[in-house]
């Protein structure tokens, strides 16, 4: 009777080649963006997927700087939060672990614009 060889316990999963928004996240982001387009607050968007972060930028016009930038940085999961909403001058408007509270900042501004 022979002893079966030992199989090493798998280590941590390898880091993804790039960070992306999943379908649920992208649906929530595009819903807010769609409301901004309907209110003529935005006309274009841009997405960038890198090794460290995924970025969704909302633009008033194609060649301008973004009105808002939503960043997803999984490396900050245990610190400030995965998601960050950044304003036009680079100020951080909101950080969080959940996407909905971060997007609520934009939604509140849209509600004020209607009133």
Residue 32: how many other CB atoms lie within 10 Å = 20
| pLDDT at residue 15 in the model | 63
CA-to-CA distance for 28 and 78, rounded, in angstroms? 23
Q: How far apart are CA 78 and CA 34, in angstroms?
A: 31
pTM of the shown model:
0.78
Cα–Cα distance measured from residue 10 to residue 7, given in angstroms and rounded to the nearest whole number: 9
Q: What is the pLDDT of residues 1-35, one digit of tens each?
A: 677 887 777 777 666 688 889 999 999 999 999 99
Domain chopping of the chain, boundaries: 23-114
pLDDT in tens, 51-76: 999 999 999 887 778 899 999 988 88
């Amino acid at each position: 009777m022979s002893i079966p060889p030992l199989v090493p316990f798998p280590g941590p999963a390898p880091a993804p080649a790039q960070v992306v928004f999943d379908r649920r996240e992208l649906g929530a982001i595009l819903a807010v963006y769609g409301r901004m387009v309907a209110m003529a607050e935005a006309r274009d968007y841009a997405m960038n997927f890198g090794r460290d972060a995924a970025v969704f930028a909302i633009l008033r016009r194609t060649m301008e700087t973004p009105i808002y930038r939503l960043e997803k940085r999984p490396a900050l999961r245990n610190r400030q939060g995965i998601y960050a909403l950044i304003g036009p001058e680079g100020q951080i408007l909101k950080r969080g672990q959940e996407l909905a509270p971060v997007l609520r900042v934009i939604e509140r501004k849209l509600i004020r614009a209607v009133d």
